[in-house]
Amino acid sequence: MTSTYRNPIIPGFYPDPSICRVGEDYYLVTSTFEYFPGLPIFHSRDLVNWRQIGHALDRPSQLNLDGVLASRGLYAPTIRHYNGRFYITNTLVGSAYDTLLNDGVHERNFIVTAEDPAGPWSEPYWLEGAPGIDPSLFFDTDGRAWYTGNRVPPAGPEYPHHKEIWLQELDLATMQLTGPRYSLWDGAVKGNLEAEAPHIYKKDGFYYLLVAEGGTEHHHAVTIARSRDITGPYEGNPRNPLLTHRNLGMDYAIACTGHAELVETQNGEWWMALLATRPYGGYFYNLGRETFLVPVTWEYGWPIVCPGSGRVEFEHSAPDLPAHPWPSLPARDHFSEPALADQWNFLRTPREPFWSLSERPGFLRLKLRPQMLSERANPSFVGRRQQHINFSAQTAMEFTPADAAECAGLVLLQNNEFHFRFVVTLDAQGGQITRLVKRQAGIDTIVAEHPTSGAGHTMKVEAQGQDYSFYYAADGDNWQPVAEDVDGRILSTNIAGGFVGAYIGMYASSNGKTNENIADFNWFEYKSTE
């Protein structure tokens, strides 16, 4: 019996996958936008089962996200391996070097390297004169290294969002671009949204240029061109697009397919990693853009994606590789390790140690600081991705608010303008309460309040599709509903805008005031209920 696997292979907000093979090992990296640490690195032996082994950018010196807008920051990376060294090239949008920029879009491309994909990774090599986003590297058989990205055509755009793919040699000694720059291709459909996400592969005497076009929403698509010379000219595949779901309608269960990467196994099979979404409760996808895997064959010198159907399915036949599952991560994090686990992230670059695992062993301590979740700041927030349509998340917290400005608890986050804050605080009369606040389009609305007492609080969020329910238990066992079946669609980019998926995590704030209060989290549990 042929084994199968389920899509997505990495669920939740893990978009723009790039993948490379080193012997019998596969490594994958995805975008992270305004979250820190940046660029998670995954490892697999069978292309189906993946475990995170670290982040490429895990030091503030590597990554300045100060003040970046939601859905700015780190865009699509590419990972490659050459001569015993790993390379990741990436775009930082909205910040450059250590300078806080204004709200205008600013793009800066860089490369980091490592001998071990688990790290440590180098400080960034910032590339001079490298416009655009979605950079990629190609190491040719003659030892030359090439950089490719997208840009506005030098002669100017012929239509809105007109972009082309460009190429230039990379000097590995200086980590800078050198020599002439070449225009390669501007996509298969003229008038379409920008050509982006370029990757070059060499097969059977051809250089293949894989790109995305149509935008990273419903009209997203994967297209391809080829040339006998890496510098071109490139001819498009007459069967383009290789893959798209835009023709399947808004009700299809998998949407937004695009931003792909090809990889050949040690057995000669070809596979494609790509992003896609799973709309639910209407055309909403709170989980963001996720990483999927599909089979590829070759026919008359061109790849065929998902042969026989042309569609990404939730279940495909597995690669011809020995199955290699990893141990499952525990549902409950007891915060007993010396460092936070890889699934935890902060908003923007942390500039001060607002969290601690050592001040009270066995607890995650968060300092209440003036920074608020509604600001473009680095608040006292530690979160992880929502990875399932149906899930349960809960935490046990010790916290006593001293005034009505102080709060701590759980957050369901899309961005600073769209989120839920489920917190313990004081009301105007000084009574301790659990409060659920919905923030939509920058406006806070109190959804519900529930009286509480004491310093110990157990809080839970359950989601069934777009219905989110919030519960409180003073004794850790006797759950009391605070609000049930709250519409969670504000956690989707279709309402909130941007490119990220929903997060859930722990939060503490003094809302503009300076104080010395803390909140201690004994554990956090997240599990699928699907």
**Residues classed as catalytic:** 16, 196
Return all residues near 494 (Cβ < 8 A) that are at least 6 apart: 283, 284, 285
Six-digit token string for 90: 């990436």
Asked if 26 and 322 touch (Cβ cutoff 8 Å), the reply is no
- Residue found by looking up tokens 């460092």 in the block: 339
316: nearest Cα among 325, 327, 305: 305
Helix and strand numbers (H, E) in the chain are 1, 42
Looking at residue 123, the DSSP 8-state letter turns out to be P
Asked if 343 and 329 touch (Cβ cutoff 8 Å), the reply is yes
Measured between alpha carbons, how far is residue 122 from residues 55, 85, 118, 174, 364 in Å?
A: 12, 11, 12, 14, 29
Return all residues near 268 (Cβ < 8 A) that are at least 6 apart: none
Asked if 149 and 181 touch (Cβ cutoff 8 Å), the reply is no
Three-state helix/strand/coil letters over 269-317? CEEEEEEEECCCCCCCCCCCCEEEEEEEEEECCEEEECCCCCCCCCEEE
Six-digit token string for 316: 């495909």
Looking at residue 362, the DSSP 8-state letter turns out to be T
Asked if 171 and 177 touch (Cβ cutoff 8 Å), the reply is yes
Asked if 357 and 339 touch (Cβ cutoff 8 Å), the reply is yes
Helix, strand or coil, per DSSP, at residue 91? strand
CA 378/CA 345 separation, integer angstroms: 11
- β-strand partners of 223: 211
Asked if 151 and 199 touch (Cβ cutoff 8 Å), the reply is no
- Residue 495's φ and ψ, nearest 5 degrees, are -105, -45
